[in-house]
């Protein structure tokens, strides 16, 4: 359980949150270039796809590092949670590969992104739920993590679009609904990571001073 409040975990969640924030910024700049016709910012789309894939990998590595702690708290569900995160990271990377290689348009690659982060959201939901049971993290951070994971899990409905192979450049109703998950993935989740990391490092610093 000490892994959930270790200095390594603190720095790692800050890294995950920082990559998530960079991903959000590059997406914003890409839309600016798209709507304002600024060609010098057009590369932000490809950069955003790469950052999305990196964020997925980092989340999976974090889940692997915390797996021993979760295995103690939830021995039956912890293997499923770890598999869920890695499957989510794989889906995100595959979606990024599809759009970067021109093998799909925006819609299908986005479905993989939403669905992959939905799988990561399952892990995040359980992680915060177990932390609440054990009173490991502050209540406000746990609530933020639960809200973030709830929105992320909305992306699971994108599986319907993946199975049907829906693709195109238009925003279909399914993509609009699945896109609500980005409130968690692109906003609340990175903020939760940064706040949690800062709290863990502050706690570790206080313990070092008192020792």
pLDDT in tens, the chain (211 residues): 588 999 999 999 999 999 999 999 999 999 898 788 888 788 898 999 999 999 999 999 999 999 999 999 898 999 999 999 999 999 999 999 999 998 888 899 999 999 999 999 999 999 999 999 988 999 999 999 999 999 999 999 999 999 999 987 667 889 989 999 999 999 999 999 999 999 999 988 877 676 5
In sequence order, which residues have a C-beta less than 8 Å from that of residue 158 and are 6 or more positions away? 110, 111, 112, 114, 115, 118, 174, 175, 178, 181
Residues spanned by the domain of 93:
2-210
Select from 18, 3, 30, 6 the least CA-distant residue to 190.
Answer: 18
Q: How many independent structural domains does the chain possess?
A: 1
Can you spell out the DSSP letters for 103-124? SS-HHHHHHHHHHHHHHHHHHH
Q: For 74-188, where are the alpha helices, taking DSSP H only? A: 78-100, 106-134, 139-153, 159-164, 173-179, 182
Which residue is listed with tokens 């950069």?
47
d(CA 203, CA 11): 13
With tokens 């910012």, the residue in question is: 41
Per DSSP, the three-state class of 165 is coil
Instruction: Give the pLDDT score at 141.
Output: 96
């Amino acid at each position: 359980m000490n892994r959930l409040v270790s200095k390594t975990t603190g720095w790692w969640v800050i890294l995950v949150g920082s990559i998530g924030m960079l991903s959000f910024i590059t997406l914003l700049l890409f839309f600016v270039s798209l709507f304002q016709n600024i060609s010098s910012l057009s590369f932000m789309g490809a950069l955003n796809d790469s950052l999305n894939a990196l964020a997925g990998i980092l989340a999976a590595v974090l889940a692997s590092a915390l797996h021993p702690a979760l295995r103690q708290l939830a021995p039956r569900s912890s293997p499923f949670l770890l598999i869920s995160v890695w499957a989510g990271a794989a889906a995100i990377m595959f979606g990024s590969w599809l759009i970067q290689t021109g093998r799909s348009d925006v819609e299908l690659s986005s479905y993989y992104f939403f669905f992959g982060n939905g799988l990561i959201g399952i892990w995040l939901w359980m992680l915060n739920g177990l932390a609440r049971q054990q009173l490991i993290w502050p209540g406000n951070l746990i609530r933020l993590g639960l809200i973030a994971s709830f929105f992320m899990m909305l992306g699971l409905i994108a599986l319907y679009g993946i199975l049907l192979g829906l693709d195109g450049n238009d925003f279909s109703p399914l993509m609009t609904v699945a896109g609500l998950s980005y409130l968690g993935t692109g906003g609340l989740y990175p903020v939760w990571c940064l706040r949690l990391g800062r709290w863990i490092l502050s706690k570790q610093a206080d313990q070092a001073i008192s020792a």
